[in-house]
Amino acid sequence: MSFDIRYPIGLMFALFGAMLVVFGLVSDPAIYQRSFGINVNLWWGIVIFIFGAVMLGLAWTA
Amino acid sequence: MQSMHLQGIDYAILIAYFVFVLGIGFVLRKFVKTGNDFFLSGRSIPAWITGLAFISANLGAQEVIGMGASGAKYGIMTSHFYWVGAIPAMVFVGLFMMPFYYGSKARSVPEYLKLRFDEKTRGLNAISFTVMTVFSSGISMFALAKLFGILLGWNFNFSICVSAAIVLIYIFMGGLTSAIYNEVLQFFLIVLGFLPLVFLGLHDAGGWSGLTAKLAVVATKNGFAAGAWNNSWQFMGNAKENPMGVGWFGMVAGLGFVLSFGYWCTDFLVVQRAMAANSMSAARRTPLIGAIPKMFIPALVILPGMIAIALTATSGPGGFSLPTKAGGVLDYDMAIPMMLAHYLPSGLLGLGLTALMASFMSGMAGNVTAFNTVLTYDIYQGYLNKDKSDQHYLWMGRFATVFGILLSIGAAYLADQFNNIMDMIQLVFAFVNAPLFATFLLGMFWKRSTGHGAFFGLLSGTIAASIHHGFTVPVGALSLIKGGWTGHIIHTYPSEMAQNFWTAIFAWTTCFVATIVISKLTRRNKSDAELRGLVYSLTPRIKEEGIPWYQQPWVLGVIVLAAAVVLNIIFW
């Protein structure tokens, strides 16, 4: 069976990361009061986008 | 109670997750051509995937919500479920038991019991297991619907139907393979969805030092020494000195040995993941690989509970606070959901809720895949329709999946109507499961144990558990479900947890002794030749060739155990 789960994992997290980054850039800063003023959508979006990209890279180069 | 208001991005993340989960099932359906493909993934899955699925299948509602609640209620002592309970058991099953499960080519744990003992022992285990998995899956479904109703105002019926339909579709299409691959996806989602919560909660508590200072307030308010919530062993000398109400022996023997080994070494839900591995070596490494992330799961599920109780006890107005139930008692089960609502803005909130949904669904799917295999091979093929084609059993497996989901939905509605009935059912299954590890231990490591010994040993262990429960109660018990149903109380435990651990110890010991005595009094029903590959003394030792030293099961086992010891010392 040739199916590499890293493709869907990578795609999903790259998509979620991109969505969070875009939302982090356009959203009202007031919503980040609950997270101590940190734009957690932007920063965590970058983290999971990188995770997704690494997964895709691992699958692609396998 | 703080409710959540989702925006478009939150729904987009949740819907995208559903699309990926269903997409994986759709892609994998073309690989399912035989019964072996559907029930055991054709024994073709690499070790790293089965290893992550091994723990993800267990990372369901009870783990995420329950361990968060226990973290708030008992503090870091809850980590004993991992560092004393799960990790040693996972190492043991990988190194010593997997060669028999995988090497015997048994398709399920009950089938191993048939090969090792006899038909009646298999039947007892298969029937109790299928009923138990349906109720476990139903409880997951019920908890999900209840929680999403409280947090988002979702209709109970809608939540049940959506979660059941998605799990049904991806298992129906791709069988165990689809469940395993989705469990890996769900594992990463749970980790990445909950980590921001831990960071923000710790930040709010003032880091680890701030958290321990606040937990000291919690401990002294509850009448314990200041370190009782953030030291796992220091107050285990006396059951009355720690919030769990358990002494060190009850903890090590009851939880660390009987209950944990009973679950991780004999429960088909997790063992099935290892049975799907692509080689004996991969099957042995499955629980060992799973043990590595398992060690750090407390940071994701227990730590938020500890943060929640610390902030509840010390925060001023506007700060985080756990909600209360009727009677003013803190609702510990809401620790993680309330932290999601309190700290995460839209966007990350969608990711966190999707992670919560993923944990419920992985628990459900794990139960359903184990159910359809045991129902098809051990009950349908074993007793009802023996000599049909492989395609017939593949069809039956798909039917069993639909049947299992429908029964789970029924169990969820039963739980909604009669909460005490579910407590009662879980209690009965605790009685059935507690002695099980004694049966497997003797079966795998003592060739003289017989079918009669195993069957009547199991029954006597279950009876011993119910008798112990009937004569004991925990402090403050208000209903007979908590014990003392004989009307004669001969011992009162400091906590329900202590009573559970000692019930398990009594059940296991009775089963162990009864199995030995009855086996000695009855004739062997299997010859040495029949037991080859099923019993330690009659099975050639496995030589792991062509595998680098750092991937050898023994090396992995030693590393994992050493890391668990270090964690116990750090949080002593």
B532-559 pLDDT, tens digit each = 799 989 888 776 768 788 888 979 999 9
Cα–Cα distance for residue pair B454/B433, rounded to 1 Å: 14
In this structure, what token pair is assigned to residue B215?
């937990």
Report CA-CA distances (Å) from B109 to B53, B282, B341, B372, B440.
18, 18, 41, 13, 10
Q: Does A59 touch chain B (CB under 8 A)?
A: no
Do the Cβ atoms of B265 and B440 come closer than 8 Å? yes
Mean pLDDT of B499-506: 91
Does a structural domain hold residue B69? Answer: yes
Cα–Cα distance for residue pair B190/B58, rounded to 1 Å: 12
Let me know whether B446 and B406 are in one domain: no
Domain count, chain A: 1
Let me know whether B302 and B257 are in one domain: yes
| Chain A residues with CB-CB distance to B184 below 8 A | 5, 9
Kindly tell me if the per-residue pLDDT of B437 is higher than 90.
yes
Does a structural domain hold residue A31? Answer: yes
Kindly tell me if the per-residue pLDDT of B424 is higher than 70.
no
Cα–Cα distance for residue pair B36/B42, rounded to 1 Å: 5
Report CA-CA distances (Å) from B488 to B461, B469, B480.
21, 11, 12
Q: What is the pLDDT of residues B222-245, one digit of tens each?
A: 899 999 998 999 898 989 889 989
Burial class of residue B492 in the structure, from the number of CB atoms within 10 Å of its CB (0-12 exposed, 13-18 middle, 19+ buried)? middle
Let me know whether B13 and B141 are in one domain: yes
Does a structural domain hold residue A33? Answer: yes
Do the Cβ atoms of B246 and B497 come closer than 8 Å? yes
DSSP state of B77: G
Q: What is the mean pLDDT of chain B?
A: 90
| Chain A residues with CB-CB distance to B204 below 8 A | 36
Does a structural domain hold residue B3? Answer: no
| Chain B residues with CB-CB distance to A13 below 8 A | 188, 192
Q: What is the pLDDT of residues B283-324, one digit of tens each?
A: 999 999 999 999 989 999 999 999 999 999 987 777 888 998
Q: What is the pLDDT of residues B111-167, one digit of tens each?
A: 999 999 999 999 999 999 999 888 889 988 889 898 889 888 989 999 999 999 999
Let me know whether B220 and B278 are in one domain: yes
- Tell me whether residues B42 and A3 touch, CB distance under 8 A: no
Does a structural domain hold residue A21? Answer: yes
Does a structural domain hold residue B1? Answer: no
Q: Which structural domain range is residue A22 located in?
A: 16-61
- Tell me whether residues B346 and A31 touch, CB distance under 8 A: yes
- Tell me whether residues B347 and A51 touch, CB distance under 8 A: no
Taking alpha carbons only, the member of B106, B90, B117, B37 closest to residue B439 is B117
Does a structural domain hold residue B16? Answer: yes
Let me know whether B457 and B561 are in one domain: no
DSSP string, B398-441: HHHHHHHHHHHHHHHHHHHH-HHHHHHHHHHHHHHHTTHHHHHH
Per-residue pLDDT at B482: 77
| Chain B residues with CB-CB distance to A28 below 8 A | none
Q: Does A25 touch chain B (CB under 8 A)?
A: no
Interface of B to A at Cβ within 8 Å reads: 9, 12-13, 16-17, 20, 23-24, 27-28, 31, 42, 44, 49, 177, 181, 184-185, 188-189, 192, 196, 200, 203-204, 342-348, 351
Q: pLDDT under 50 in chain A at which residues?
A: none
Report CA-CA distances (Å) from B241 to B67, B73, B220, B248, B327.
21, 14, 11, 11, 26
Residue B30, domain CATH:
1.20.1730.10
Cα–Cα distance for residue pair B545/B553, rounded to 1 Å: 12
Give B429's pLDDT tier (boundaries 50, 70, 90). low
Let me know whether B368 and B479 are in one domain: no
Does a structural domain hold residue B532? Answer: yes
Higher pLDDT, B380 or B542: B380
Q: What is the pLDDT of residues B177-217, one digit of tens each?
A: 999 999 999 899 999 999 999 989 998 999 999 999 999 99
In this structure, what token pair is assigned to residue A34?
């609950």
Cα–Cα distance for residue pair B236/B238, rounded to 1 Å: 5
- Tell me whether residues A9 and B185 touch, CB distance under 8 A: yes
| Chain A residues with CB-CB distance to B42 below 8 A | 1
Let me know whether B180 and B218 are in one domain: yes
Q: Does A27 touch chain B (CB under 8 A)?
A: yes
- Tell me whether residues B344 and A48 touch, CB distance under 8 A: no
- Tell me whether residues B348 and A34 touch, CB distance under 8 A: no
DSSP state of A32: G
- Tell me whether residues B348 and A20 touch, CB distance under 8 A: yes
Do the Cβ atoms of B522 and B453 come closer than 8 Å? yes
Do the Cβ atoms of B409 and B141 come closer than 8 Å? yes
Let me know whether B260 and B367 are in one domain: yes
Per-residue pLDDT at B351: 95
Let me know whether B48 and B161 are in one domain: yes
Does a structural domain hold residue B426? Answer: yes
Please provide the distance, in angstroms rounded to a whole number, between the alpha carbons at the two ends of chain A.
Answer: 15
| Chain B residues with CB-CB distance to A3 below 8 A | 27-28, 31, 181
Let me know whether B295 and B376 are in one domain: yes
Do the Cβ atoms of A17 and A46 come closer than 8 Å? yes
Q: Which structural domain range is residue B88 located in?
A: 8-417+548-570
Let me know whether B272 and B396 are in one domain: yes
Which of B43-47, B232-236, B511-515 is the most confident on average?
Answer: B511-515
Per-residue pLDDT at B229: 93
| Nearest C-alpha in B relative to A29 | B345
B546: region left, alpha or beta (phi > 0 left; psi from -120 to 50 alpha): left
Does a structural domain hold residue A22? Answer: yes
Q: Can you tell me whether residue B283 is helix, strand or coil? A: helix
Do the Cβ atoms of B269 and B108 come closer than 8 Å? no
Domain count, chain B: 2
Let me know whether B494 and B556 are in one domain: no
Give B2's pLDDT tier (boundaries 50, 70, 90). low
Do the Cβ atoms of B204 and B307 come closer than 8 Å? yes
Q: What is the pLDDT of residues B247-282, one digit of tens each?
A: 999 989 999 999 999 999 999 989 999 999 989 999
Does a structural domain hold residue A50? Answer: yes
Residue whose tokens read 């991992």: B82
Does a structural domain hold residue B319? Answer: yes
Best A7, A12, A15, A19 member to test B by mutation, with max B CBs in 10 Å, is A12
Report CA-CA distances (Å) from B96 to B257, B279, B441, B445.
15, 16, 10, 10
Kindly tell me if the per-residue pLDDT of B421 is higher than 90.
no
Cα–Cα distance for residue pair B368/B57, rounded to 1 Å: 11
Phi, psi of A3 (to 5 degrees): -145, 125
| Nearest C-alpha in B relative to A27 | B346
B536: region left, alpha or beta (phi > 0 left; psi from -120 to 50 alpha): alpha
- Tell me whether residues A27 and B27 touch, CB distance under 8 A: no
| Chain B residues with CB-CB distance to A51 below 8 A | 188, 192
Percent of chain B with pLDDT over 90: 65
Kindly tell me if the per-residue pLDDT of B420 is higher than 70.
no
Mean pLDDT of B427-452: 89
Kindly tell me if the per-residue pLDDT of B419 is higher than 70.
no
